[in-house]
Amino acid sequence: MIKLIVNADDFGFSRGVNYGIIDSHVNGIVNSTTMMMNMDAVDHAIELAQKHPRLNVGIHLVLTCGKPLAEKVPTLIDEDGNFKSQSVLDDTISLVEVEKEWTAQIDRFIATGLQPSHFDSHHHVHTRKELLPVVQRLAQKYNLRVRTNGMEPIEGVKAFSDVSFFDFYGEGATYDYFDQLSQKVDGPKTVEVMCHPAYIDQKLLCSSSYNLPRVRELDILTNISLPSKFE
């Protein structure tokens, strides 16, 4: 058998995202999510997570969206105090500041009383080679597993799964996706599939280029049955 983790990213981004993730859990196949601790709807996400204890919740570390939780992290922000976009995230950023900010995000999660299952990151920035020392230290400090970089584990940390698939996204999110996936994976393995279900609200519509396709993901995740190969 193959243990399947269907992880919904971006918990806390907006109320529409939060409700989409919870519906995909209660009425669908999502069994894991990761929370953005610096976003406006994070308190709403925390409240929902506490009401649904069967949903595994981890931390979606952020470096490219919203504002930092930590003070005095000048290399991470633009002139308006927002995180730099992924396109300008370069080797000028301070690893000390990254660790300071990500520590603040993890500590805020732990303060909720929720038990973190693992961490990953927005835009997969934790897989960047230059950030590896920070990822390794935080994984060890908090004894947390880390999302793999596709088929490749992150060096020096405990992996959250054997492999991760990032192609349930856009046109790749299809109603027969999991039927096809069952044919590509040999068990026994733990397999993670990343997803982004949501209901559209103003925040999501105006702040994310990946918005309308999330409704399709939500419909798929709440209307399919998994092949018997998965548990």
Residue-level pLDDT at 187: 73
The confidence score (pLDDT) of residue 183 equals: 84
pLDDT value at residue 172: 97
The per-residue pLDDT string of the chain (231 residues; one tens digit each, 9 = 90 and over) reads 889 999 999 999 999 999 999 999 999 999 999 999 999 999 999 999 999 999 999 999 999 999 999 999 999 999 999 998 875 567 789 999 999 999 999 999 999 999 999 999 999 999 999 999 999 999 999 999 999 999 999 999 999 999 999 999 999 999 999 999 988 887 789 999 999 999 999 999 999 999 999 999 999 999 999 988 887
Residue-range domains of the chain with CATH: 3-221 (3.20.20.370)
pLDDT of residue 25: 98
pLDDT of the residue at 31: 98
| Token pair listed for 112 | 């909720």
